[in-house]
Amino acid sequence: MMIVELIDQDDFRNRLLEIGVPVPAGSGPEQAARIAVEVLATRGLPHLAETVNGLMERADVMHPEVRAAIESHLLPALAS
């Protein structure tokens, strides 16, 4: 039997922290995504697109709340 670890809110938060998004501990995926959008708009995040693309390549093992936060907040912000 193969065990697959889902990309959860902690993984998502850690990825955002790695690229400079100040996500407070205990933040849910939606709050983390909103903070990332604010940082992107105010000072830019050069690695956000790469991070989001990498996460979406693994959408099949992503927790639904993380995927929803990316799709509703980060993808539209990156498209504009």
The pLDDT value recorded for residue 5 is 80
3-state secondary structure of 43: coil
pTM equals 0.91
The residue among 4 and 31 whose pLDDT is bigger is 31
For residues 73 and 33, the answer to whether their CB atoms sit within 8 Å is yes
What is the average per-residue pLDDT within 70-76? Answer: 98
